[in-house]
Amino acid sequence: MSPPTHDVVIVGAGIAGIVCAIELLDQGKRVLLLDRDQPDQIGGLARRSFGGMFAVDTPEQRRMGIRDNTALALADWQSFAEFDAGARWPQRWARAYVGQCTEHMYWWLRGKGIRFLPMPNWVERGQFTPGNSLPRFHMVWGTGKKLAETLIGHLQQHRNVGLLDLRFGQCVNGLLRDGERVTGCHGIDETSGRPFTAHAETTVVAAGGINGNLERVRNNWHSDWGTPPEILLNGSHRFADGTLHDAAAAAGAQITHLDKMWNYAAGVHHYAPSQPLAGLSLVPPRSALWLNWRGERIGPQPLVSGFDTRELVSQVCRQPRQYSWQLMNRRIALKELAVSGAEHNPSIRDESRLGLLRDLLFGNRWLVDTLIEKCIDVVVARTLPELVERMNALQGDDAVELATVEREVHQYDARVVQPERFQNDEQLRRIAFLRRYRGDRLRTCKRQPILDGKALPLIAIREFIISRKSLGGIQTDLASRALDAAGKPIDGLYAIGEAAGFGGGGVHGLRALEGTFLGGCVLTARAAAAALGGRNLLDH
């Protein structure tokens, strides 16, 4: 066997890989960090994300009068997760995350220079299953781009940067073994086309999940969702293809809960795609009508975002055609429509307080106009007959029925204009509840009819299920060591971030409370580095 030339090889330079490398350099270890992408894409999917982080009992919460605690947060997590009986390590990771995310994720990031918006968002409140009792979604000021660039800066300017070997264009497709021990990895240098091997005392898999591979997504589709949709968009990283899951499994690692995924119901085709079927994930307007393929309001519980993302996906997947329409007017779109990620939130991304204030007061005109102009799934008209005609033209049939759409819109508008005490509609009740929290009131219309002559034109958006994140993965203990089928650590192998299902091979269970993905990357990475330094970060 060749002698190891590095103490640790990390496969994947996303947030998890970067954090782990920083912590290992702190210990003076020799680190080889391999990534398949190009240097300007270091940071992975996180650099394009909103940058939301789930944390408990923070200064931002306290300033808003939010009295949070770990017992309440854990109860919410366990409720939403609906863990199966055999999910021992996911449950242990859930307790560790909730109990220690503020100390070991939030404050660690604050110490690195990360700041958060002063008002936490309240997402995943729960619909039929209780979710977040309180707002816990802390937005990074600067989005995921700022998060990634800040941590990349710490990595590149580290006092021990001479111990770091950072290589790009490295497609890792297998692990090296000496008996039962993992001793490194092998793959292809896609720049030169030559094979390579990398030997190390320890190998850390940080290569993401499976959701960038739509074939794997379909093969692991959860039974609750029936059959996969005919059209499924890709909102994950193009290299998150599950290759390292296969490599870990070949080395004896247990792969669990791959049918648990965090997909979204409101995906549209990306107007500047970087991969086949690339999609954008919309933050769906709460005051829009969510309709099925014929123009019927999906129900009986109307679809409203902010309560249970998985239930939205389930409802759309139950339709005979597994796509949907959201119908709104320009006023609703300006105030409520958003697209997840740094790219479409320039005011927050560029840390422009004036721009953010402008967007809150007058709406994000740039975003709405960009989608209308460039996104093929958006149609606009002055009247309902014209809008329905354009919806059908887009779909290439006559599936959307004008009489049905007119009935749904007129019935809804009639309820909107009733005095508030008589507004007997579940969507309106939920909007009223959302508006009781200041963070949602700023971004949610009050009693806005669809057919409002002062709010035209009408807008319809065709939306598809979009693949996003893997909630399952390589099973790990609280030190991020990969475990075999008997629950024993595999010598020399660790897994972190999405590759590990954000901890334990599925820390979220069935549903995620949002903001726990980036946080899971940080915690699992720090836990691995701490273990390699001979200490425990998390309670065992």
User: pLDDT at position 363, please?
Assistant: 85
CA 129 to chain centre: 20
pLDDT at position 342 = 84
Neighbours of 44 (CB within 10 A): 29
Question: Quick one: tokens of 285?
Answer: 């307007």
Task: Report the candidate in 430, 427, 383, 388 with the shortest Cα–Cα distance to residue 405.
Answer: 388
Residue 343 has pLDDT above 90, yes or no: no
- Residue 133, pLDDT score: 97
447 or 406: which leads in pLDDT: 406
CA distance 352 to 347: 5
- Stretch 482-503: mean pLDDT: 98
Reported as a pLDDT band with limits 50, 70 and 90, residue 255 is very high
- pTM for the model: 0.96
- Percent share of the chain, pLDDT over 90: 94
Q: What is the pLDDT of residues 152-189, one digit of tens each?
A: 999 999 999 999 999 999 999 999 999 999 999 999 99
Of 102, 17, 24, nearest in space to 534 by CA? 24
How far CA 233 is from CA of 46, 264, 265, 489, in Å, comes to 19, 10, 10, 36
Q: What is the mean pLDDT of residues 84-104?
A: 96
Q: What is the pLDDT of residue 86?
A: 87
Residues 466, 226 contacting (CB under 8 angstroms): no
Average of per-residue pLDDT across 202-224:
97
Dist. CA 341–CA 47, nearest whole Å: 9
What is the arithmetic mean of pLDDT over 472-476? Answer: 98
Give mean pLDDT, residues 133-144.
97
pLDDT at 2 over 70: no
In the DSSP assignment, the letter for residue 229 is P
Mean pLDDT of 472-499: 98
Cis peptide bond prior to 300, omega within 30° of 0: yes
Task: Using pLDDT thresholds of 50, 70 and 90, give the confidence band for residue 53.
Answer: very high
pLDDT at 379: 98
pLDDT recorded at residue 540: 52
The 10 Å Cβ neighbour count of residue 5 is 14
Express each pLDDT in 279-320 by its tens digit: 999 999 999 999 999 999 999 999 999 999 999 999 999 999
Q: In 293-391, where do the E strands start and end? A: 323-329, 338-339, 378-381
The mean pLDDT value for 202-221 works out to: 98
Residue 3 pLDDT level (bands cut at 50, 70, 90): low
% residues pLDDT > 70 (the chain):
99
Rg (CA), the chain: 23
CA count, 13 A, side-chain hemisphere, 194: 3
Low-confidence winner among 274-283, 348-357, 384-393, 508-517 (lowest mean pLDDT): 348-357
Question: 350-375 as b/e, with b when 16 or more CB fall inside 10 Å?
Answer: eeeeebbeebeeebbeebbeebbeeb
Confidence band (pLDDT; 50, 70, 90) for 360? confident
Return mean pLDDT, the chain: 96
Whether residue 483 has pLDDT greater than 90: yes
